[in-house]
Structure 1
Amino acid sequence: MSNPLTDLVLGFQGLVADVPTLVQPLIVAAAGAVPFIEGEGAAAIGIIGGIHPLVAVLAAAIGNLLCVAIVVLVTSRVRAAVTTRRGAPAKTQTARREKFEKAYHRYGTPGVSLLGPLLLPTQFTAAALTSTGVPPLRVIAWQAAAIALWTTGVTLIALGLIRLAA
């Protein structure tokens, strides 16, 4: 039985190989928008597909960030609509929500944004931050920093490993 995420990654890799050179960064950006692939995985897809590493990193990070920005803006509007209608934020506490809020109080927006990719896709972390009332521009700024750091860092490590193996 095949893994859907593996199939998706292989599909993006095949697509990068099949499209003209000018379109390849767009495919990498689209892959960067997919949770669990994100910037790190998309950059690898691009590099394996023959795209220059700098172009692959930029395309992957931009695709990831655009998706995160859309998630943040939509979540912000939904939160505003719900809190306006109810008059106050709902206080339903699930175990998962409590865990997130504990991490948020301990690390703040910067810490949750920078450490979040170790546990969750950036889209999920961004939505959780926004739903707790963190201003959208603050979430987007810290998610941009996290995406840039993680995508660049993982790509540099991968390139180093590729050079070692060669």
Structure 2
Amino acid sequence: MSSPYEGLQNLVDQLPEFVQPLVVAGMGMIPYVEGEGSAALGILVGINPIVAALAGAAGNILAVIAVVLLSSRVRESVVARRARRTAPTTVSVGATSTAGGSTLVDEAAVGAGQETGTKPAKRSKGRERLSRWLVRFGVPGASILAPLALPTHLTAAFLVASGTPKHWVILWQVIAIVLWTGLVAAAALGVTSLLGW
């Protein structure tokens, strides 16, 4: 029985061997494809299963680390801006009639009145599920279960935005990527063996 991926296998065979894992790693950087999808596709087109799994996981890990570092910088900037905005800064409003001094008003109190009446942002089902898992299982459980709801790129950004330290997010995302990529690669290897590809 010929493989339905035969044309793709021929295309991959034309690439030099050292480029094949780079292609798999590049696919692993794409959200929704990730390490699992790229490793499985690499195995299905005839790349060595261990090489495909390592390359897919490596590409996904590199992309997630980049997302975590970028998200962390954005979060730090937002938190610092909010802290400056809500710091107990005082503003002179006007002179009093008796002492000739100034009446002081807290800027945060003035700004707080403007924020009322805004609607909370609607969240996707995947983000809602991830939020529940984060509360119930913590960062380790949420990271491992998250690929069932969202891509690891979005999960990593969500965890950083929720205040989880970036080194903790990276650690558990790497564990989750390796676990899921290994499981899917083993399943893909089983499928190819079973079908005789």
Sort the Cα spacing of 1:14 and 1:122 in 2 relative to 1 into closer, same or farther, 3 A: farther
Sort the Cα spacing of 1:15 and 1:146 in 2 relative to 1 into closer, same or farther, 3 A: farther
Letter in 2 for 1:43: A
Matches of 1:36 and 1:62, distance apart in 2: 15
Computing the radius of gyration over CA atoms, which structure comes out larger, 1 or 2? 2
Q: Is the 8 A contact 2:44 2:188 kept in 1?
A: no
Find the partner of 1:77 among 73, 77, 88: 73
Tell whether 2:121 aligns with 1:125: no
Q: 57-66 or 152-161, which moves further after superposition? A: 152-161
Find the partner of 2:136 among 90, 93, 106: 106
TM-score between both structures, scaled by the size of structure 2: 0.71
Identity %: 48
Please list every run of 5 or more consecutive structure 2 residues that lacks an aligned counterpart in the other structure. Answer: 1-7, 87-118
Q: Which residue of 2 aligns with 1:146?
A: 176
Give 1:54-69 correspondences, 5 Å limit.
Answer: 54-69=50-65
Shift of 1:13: 7.1
Q: Which residue of 2 aligns with 1:96?
A: 123
Q: Which residue of 2 aligns with 1:8?
A: none
Q: Is the 8 A contact 1:32 1:63 kept in 2?
A: yes
Structure with more contact order per residue of length (Cα contacts < 8 Å, sep ≥ 6): 2
Sort the Cα spacing of 1:102 and 1:95 in 2 relative to 1 into closer, same or farther, 3 A: farther
Three-state SS of the structure 1 residue aligned to 2:71 is: helix
Letter in 2 for 1:138: W
Which deviations, in whole Å up to 9, do the C-alpha atoms of 1:54-100 show, x marking residues without a partner? 000000000000000000000000000010011189xx843428824
Matches of 2:64 and 2:11, distance apart in 1: 23
More helix as a share of residues:
1
Number of matched pairs: 153
Q: Which residue of 1 aligns with 2:45?
A: 49
More strand as a share of residues:
2
Q: 101-110 or 121-130, which moves further after superposition? A: 101-110
